[in-house]
């Protein structure tokens, strides 16, 4: 699946296991951590989107 970025590019989201995700080729290590002002998803790298 791909999602549109704010700069007009596309970012790929992959399901790689039963509870494992990749966003832009980067592993999501800890998803859905509730914070007072939003939700945090810990990743193991820098997510960059291609220019659109």
DSSP annotation string for 2-52: EEE-TTS-EEEEEE-SSS-EEETTEEEEEEEEEETTEEEEEESS---PPP-
pLDDT surpassing 70 at residue 52: no
pLDDT surpassing 70 at residue 32: yes
> Does residue 27 sit within a domain?
yes
**Domain count of the chain?**
1
* Averaged pLDDT, 29-42: 96
> Does residue 48 sit within a domain?
no
Structural domain that includes position 17: 2-43
> Does residue 51 sit within a domain?
no
> Does residue 36 sit within a domain?
yes
């Amino acid at each position: 699946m791909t999602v549109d970025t704010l700069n007009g590019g596309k970012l790929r989201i992959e399901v790689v296991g039963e509870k494992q995700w990749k966003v832009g080729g980067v592993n999501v290590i800890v998803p859905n951590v509730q914070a007072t002002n939003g939700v945090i998803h810990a990743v193991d790298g820098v997510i960059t989107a291609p220019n659109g």
